[in-house]
Amino acid sequence: MGFTEKLRGKKEFIEEFLKEAIPNTEGPHGKLFESMRYSLDAGGKRLRPILLLEACSIVGGEAAKAIKFACAVEMIHTYSLIHDDLPAMDDDDLRRGKPTNHKVFGEGLAVLAGDGLLNYAFELMIESSLRYPQESYKYILAMNEIAQGAGVFGMIGGQTADLESENKVIESETLEFIHMNKTAQMLIRPMRAGAILGGASQAELDRITEYAENIGLAFQIVDDILDVVGDQSKLGKNVGSDEENQKSTYPSMYGLEESKSMAVGKIENAKNAISHFGENSQFLVELAEYIIDREF
């Protein structure tokens, strides 16, 4: 089976569970659940849950025991996108090719749908832990990873630094901090959580962490490059900046070619980090390559 087919199969596996995750009810919760489901069902690569389940399997764990965690990280990711699109943040009208949540349901409900998805993610993870009480310590460690990755020392911290750096000239360390926290943490922590649930040794956890850190940074560098390459009108201007909302990016700091080679270097590091897993690492190796290939 080719990589694209494997990727599609894993995505569909997750989507089957995601479809059932939010109740489909009438009544007082109806609109809230509809709004949560709207963004959750709106597509997306499902990269974070795929990585979580893969990290679990590569160390010999049962993916079925980690599926609720996989759904939970996609819910947290979706909440972050709903909030990021709000007028108070990026003020976007489209997400995943569809009108953003607040455009359909209004700002108030979009805030609540995001909050609802974040909280529901923890409800799901707790429910899953209670199901396997003999392994509860492992589940608590895995939940800690997700909480840290999504929280003030992770994604929220990174998003805050990003907001505060708008229209400012920033140091390369600040740019790396933003990328590492806003984007990479929500790839690293789900992988660590999956590996912990799968019973990883410390050495295996370290290798998976190194893989995830490298693909996480490469993912954001590539996202920055795509923003530039995708918007031809910017190419003649100062790359990575626009009049109304100036943000520092890898291309604006290092130039396009240097950014590309930095991303390629990180993908090589990621592949080396998991070479120890031999044949079992094939999917993760191909996934790392896909992160680069989809873009340039």
User: How many CA atoms, within 13 angstroms, populate the side-chain half-sphere of residue 224?
Assistant: 31
Q: Which stretch binds ligand GRG (CB under 6 A): 39-47, 63-71, 139-147, 255-263?
A: 39-47
183: contact with ligand GRG by CB under 6 A: yes
Q: With the CA atoms of 108, 114, 119 and 120 taken in that order, what torsion angle do they form, in degrees rounded to the nearest 10?
A: 110
What count of Cα atoms within 13 Å lies in the side-chain half-sphere of residue 13?
A: 18
Does 156 sit near ligand GRG (CB under 6 A)? yes
245: Cα within 13 Å, side-chain hemisphere: 7
* The token pair that represents 112 in the structure block: 């609540």
Binding residues for ligand GRG restricted to 80-139, rule: CB under 6 A: 80-81, 83-84, 96
- Residue 53 C-beta: closest distance to ligand GRG, Å: 15
Which tokens hold the place of 251? 């291309």
**Range in contact with ligand GRG (rule: CB under 6 A) among 26-34, 42-50, 104-112, 247-255:** 42-50
Stretch that binds ligand GRG, among 2-10, 77-85, 195-203, 206-214 (CB under 6 A): 77-85
Q: What 3 state SS string does 97-136 have? A: CEECHHHHHCHHHHHHHHHHHHHHHHHHHHHHHHHCHHHH
At which residue do the structure tokens 């600040």 appear?
A: 174
Nearest CB to ligand GRG, comparing residues 44 and 116: 44
β 94-95/98-99 pair status: antiparallel
Angstrom distance (rounded) from CA 51 to CA 146: 13
Question: What is the number of helices (H) and of strands (E) in the chain?
Answer: 15, 2
Stretch that binds ligand GRG, among 10-18, 40-48, 58-66, 229-237 (CB under 6 A): 40-48
Q: Does 73 bind ligand GRG (CB under 6 A)?
A: no
Instruction: Choose between 61 and 149: whose C-beta lies nearer to ligand GRG.
Output: 149
Q: In the bound complex, which residue of the shown chain has the CB atom lying closest to ligand GRG?
A: 44
Contacting residue, 182, 189, 207, 260, with ligand GRG by CB under 6 A: 182
| 44, 154, 190, 216: which one binds ligand GRG (CB under 6 A) | 44
Beta carbon nearer to ligand GRG, 47 or 292: 47
Binding positions for ligand GRG, rule: CB under 6 A: 44-45, 47, 77, 80-81, 83-84, 96, 155-156, 159, 182-183, 220, 223
